[in-house]
Structure formats: C-alpha cells, structure tokens
Amino acid sequence: MNGSPPATDLTTVLDGDHRELDRLCTELELGQGSPENRKDLADHLIAELVRHAVAEEPYLDGDGDLAEADRLMRQLEGTGPQETRFERLLGGLIRAIRRHVREEGPAAVRTVRRSCSEQRRAELGKEVLELRDAAATVPHPDLADRVPQARQLWPGPGFVDRARAALRPPSSG
C-alpha cells in the first residue's frame, strides 16, 4: 500500500488521538479562560484521553504514563476549578499526557504495526471508531435506571469509569 494508511486504520486513529491530546494540552497550558472554562476543557481532555486509552491500552504494559494519567484523572474529576489542587493535578495530567504522546504512544503504534496485518488494523480501527460513535448513547449499567441517559457521560465523580464502560465492547458472556 502506498501513502498513509486509511483513516480507519488503528494506527491512524491512535496517531490522530495523539495530535488531538497534544492540542488540548497546549490549549490548557496557555492558561486562558475562566476557571469554569478551564474545568470544561479539562473534562474534554479527560474524555478524549479515556477514548484513546481504551483503544491503546491493549498494546501497552499498563504501568506507564497512561496509568499515571488515569490516577490523576480520577483525582481531578472530583476537584472543582476553584480548588488550589485543581491546577496542580491538571499540570500533572498534562505532563503525563505529553510523555505518553512523545514516548509511550508511538511505541504502541509501532507494536500495532508489527503485530497486526493491514486488514486487521483496518478492522480494529473501524471497531474503535464505531464504539466511540455509540458511546454517547450506551447507558452505564449501574446508572441506567437511576440517571437520565443524557447525563450519564457528563463529567463529575465517576466520569472516567462511566466513559470507560461506554467505550468497551459488550461482553459476549
């Protein structure tokens, strides 16, 4: 195949995620906007990172920058933008994401290229994109009967777990 892989190739999807995460980090590093706007942008960054992590984690060792980012996301999700620790946690999250985008992420993309055929990468990328498209409409099983569907993926306590659950393929059990 000549040129770059198709848009549905998993390596293309992951590379695009890295670019978007980097862009969001830069926007947050500029430090502009009200605390509430920064919190909204941080929540958007967390949502994008969770979407990315679900697709990429099978190709990582589990103890790297994404694991550190996950720990920080969980602390940040319950932190208000006016709290003094908000910016400290956000800075740590941005540093972990930057390390991932620079080192760990490209290594995962290389692993995908080495371990999967072109056809399999296209299938996996399509699966990831379909799960992402469906995630906004999939209710979290623990919340389905208690929380209106439109609020289930809204930021706040439990957001990381709700987003992960919505992005995982249904178990075939």
Would 4 be classed as within a structural domain?
no
Local confidence pLDDT in tens for the 173 residues of the chain: 456 666 889 999 999 999 999 999 999 999 888 888 888 899 889 988 988 888 888 888 777 888 899 999 989 988 999 999 999 999 999 999 999 999 999 999 999 999 999 999 999 999 888 887 766 544 444 444 444 444 344 455 555 666 656 556 655 44
Would 127 be classed as within a structural domain?
yes
Residue type, 72: L
pLDDT the model gives residue 126: 92
Would 156 be classed as within a structural domain?
yes
Would 2 be classed as within a structural domain?
no
DSSP string, 39-67: HHHHHHHHHHHHHHHHHHGGGS-SSSHHH
Would 61 be classed as within a structural domain?
yes
Q: Which domain holds residue 19?
A: 10-167
What's the Rg (C-alpha) of the chain?
17
Total number of domains constituting the chain: 1
Would 153 be classed as within a structural domain?
yes
Closest CA to 122 of 4, 3, 33, 6: 6
Q: How many Å apart are CA 126 and CA 105, to the nearest integer? A: 19
Would 115 be classed as within a structural domain?
yes
pLDDT the model gives residue 144: 45
Would 173 be classed as within a structural domain?
no
Q: How many Å apart are CA 88 and CA 74, to the nearest integer? A: 14
Within 13 Å of residue 165, how many CA atoms lie on the same side as its CB? 15
Q: How many Å apart are CA 62 and CA 80, to the nearest integer? A: 28
Cα 135 to the center of its chain, rounded Å: 12
Q: How many Å apart are CA 36 and CA 49, to the nearest integer? A: 20
Closest CA to 11 of 101, 158, 96, 122: 122
Q: How many Å apart are CA 140 and CA 154, to the nearest integer? A: 12
Q: How many Å apart are CA 119 and CA 134, to the nearest integer? A: 23
pLDDT the model gives residue 137: 46
Q: How many Å apart are CA 17 and CA 25, to the nearest integer? A: 12
